[in-house]
Amino acid sequence: MLRSFILSMCLVPFAASGQEVGKVGVDWVGNDIVVEAIRDPKVGGVTCHLAYFERSVLDRLSQGNWFEDPSNSAIECAQTGPIDLSQIQRGEDGEDVFREGRSLIFKSLRVKRIYDEENRVLIYLAHANEVTEGSAKMAISTVPLFDATVSNAPSE
């Protein structure tokens, strides 16, 4: 019983902070593309949709690589209400908006927000974060900021 519990924990990604809005089956072994809606917790009025590949138990059994998950993801963000920038961190390192474990301890899928103050654009970067080596797989989306839609923005 303990063995099956440990195995199930290895196969299920950690809980996400996004809301699943779609799931598309891509093959007969049960692999799926999952689409989640992620509201930026510090910027009211921005919602991102993140799509990523989710491996099935059957695929893991047949391939023998239990802990591997592809790092591929896609992201698109849009203004869904008035934008409030009063709570965000500024700086080129950006700030985490979303993080989901993609393997037991080795990999996570992240979304970071970077504020390009000069061009008045919010940048959302989806990327894999790995303990042992980095990944070059990423996706990017931008949300332009127009004065009429932004509240609590710092004065320039």
Residue 44 to residues 51, 65, 82, 88: CA-CA distances in angstroms? 21, 40, 7, 10
- Alpha helices (H) along the chain: 2-11, 57-63
7-62 confidence digits (pLDDT tens):
333 333 333 368 999 999 888 877 788 899 999 999 989 999 999 877 666 666 66
52-103 confidence digits (pLDDT tens):
877 666 666 666 665 566 667 889 999 999 999 999 988 888 999 987 765 5
Distance CA 27, CA 154 (A): 49
Question: For residue 140, how far is the Cα from the chain centroid?
Answer: 11
Enumerate the domain spans of the chain. Answer: 2-151
- Per the model's pLDDT, the better-predicted residue between 106 and 149 turns out to be 149
Task: Supply the pTM of this predicted model.
Answer: 0.72
